[in-house]
Chain A
């Protein structure tokens, strides 16, 4: 690890003085292997006002320093947005979730093995250097939204749930102004600069994530497929929320994880389901629409089948066509 200067932020303005460190579970890991090499790290963990979850209108405002454990365990979240609890609990380990923060989780870097290996070319690590994954091993790479420069997937489980829940990210700019960006617009595709992953500018601090009001009675789940039963990143995941309006589906919201450089969503697929009666034939047709005809890397071709099956299994689970284990019902009063 390269020498660093450590600074403890005492005001929001200090956050711009270097690379922010919060839980450190991703940054410190990457600093040790010199994939990230900041000169200065700024510890934001003692800043006031970032560690609480507060009611806002009918939703919740989650401070950026709220840990993954605190968020998953919060009684209001468990009741109103159970999908978010499940998704967080599907990620990492209890030890890591105790340190990982809401802001840091959103900004965790890809798990592409070439990004981690400084002897290999990687445009995300060093723009313009090339992409070793392209001709290499690529079973963790993305299916959607890739570019010639980078094929990597975003690994966060929490972010996929937040996308399905239509959350917003609250950002404080270096000049002190606050703005809110829907999760969907927060991440940017790799294009020709895969090192730039979000709309954050220099000096921006994530201050909170905001959840809109819960959907009473919505049936929610987070289905994660991985190489082992626990403590592994997703190969494919599906976050889903569906409300049964008598015999038909309403308020359908779906987001897909580990298949794109950011949580993936497809509005055409949702439109095919909204207002319809659930059936295997319909789910098959929706899967045809969702799943691409080819994969950007031969090693991720299997993700086309896996996504298709996970998507259908999730919808069957949520609509009562399949085993409902792992389904939670959102309630506004915990």
Chain B
């Protein structure tokens, strides 16, 4: 079957089996290996992309269901000579060890910072009117991204740094 996707601003038509996931389409058909496959079951967040602006696990998306949708991957938010604020902060703060979870962390944090600025609450928010970006809030809001190297404290420092750079 055929599906048209806009990925990082460019339109692509892909031909694929009905079982194909967005993760495999992005990595194998479009040759964008930045998005990682950790578990393939929604449990680790390594495959996080922005789908029409919202963070999702691309391993749990059937490509066939996303005809016409807009996708952003880690390759779409910055380049080696023009890093996004989060990418820069991860480098600066050493927000990784092996780096495998990093693209997913950065895509997830990109959406998370916007969600916080829009006043979205989390389970640990004192009330449901939204919350400041405390350490506890960050840990909760980023819990869908596991880091096998347990670089969590530095990941949170990097996110905090990027959020301060933006405001």
Contact = CB atoms under 8 A, between A and B. Distances in A.
A58 interface: no
Contact of A95 (B57, B64, B127): B57
A29 B42 contact: yes
Given A90-B123, A230-B123, 12 more contacts: A8-B64, A24-B62, A25-B60, A78-B128, A82-B128, A92-B144, A95-B45, A95-B144, A96-B60, A98-B56, A230-B139, A325-B126
B129 interface: yes
Contacts of A73: 120-121
* Range for the number of chain B residues in contact with chain A: 35 or more
A45 interface: yes
B61 A24 contact: yes
B125 to A, nearest CB: 8
A170 B57 CA distance: 29
A23 B141 CA distance: 20
Nearest to B49: A95
B1 interface: yes
* Range for the number of chain A residues in contact with chain B: 35 or more
Nearest to A325: B126
Interface centre among B17, B51, B123, by most A CB within 10 Å? Answer: B123
Contacts of A23: 60
Contacts of A1: 19
A257 to B, nearest CB: 14
Interface string B87-114: 0000000000000000000001001100
Interface string A11-30: 00000000001011100110
B45 A93 contact: yes
Interface string A38-56: 0001010100000000000
A6 B64 contact: yes
B20 to A, nearest CB: 10
Closest 4 CB pairs of A and B: A93-B144, A230-B143, A6-B18, A231-B143
7 contacts: A69-B120, A72-B121, A94-B144, A95-B45, A99-B61, A230-B143, A328-B127
Nearest to B54: A98
A116 B140 CA distance: 27
Given A32-B41, A43-B65, A45-B65, A89 B108 contact: no
A85 interface: yes
B157 interface: no
Interface of B: 1, 17-19, 21, 40-42, 45, 48, 51, 54-57, 60-62, 64-65, 108, 111-112, 115, 120-123, 126-129, 139-141, 143-145
B48 A29 contact: no
B119 to A, nearest CB: 8
Contact of B65 (A24, A95, A98): A24
Contacts of A21: 62, 65
A267 B64 CA distance: 46
A1 to B, nearest CB: 5
B60 A24 contact: yes
Interface string A64-107: 00000100110000100010011001101111101100000000
A98 B55 contact: yes
A72 to B, nearest CB: 7
Given A72-B121, A230-B123, A96 B139 contact: no
A96 B45 CA distance: 9
Contacts of A86: 123, 128
Given A4-B18, A86-B123, A86-B128, A94 B55 contact: yes
A33 B19 CA distance: 13
A3 interface: yes
A99 B56 CA distance: 7
B115 A43 contact: no
Nearest to A99: B56
Contacts of A95: 42, 45, 48, 55-57, 108, 144
A6 B66 CA distance: 12
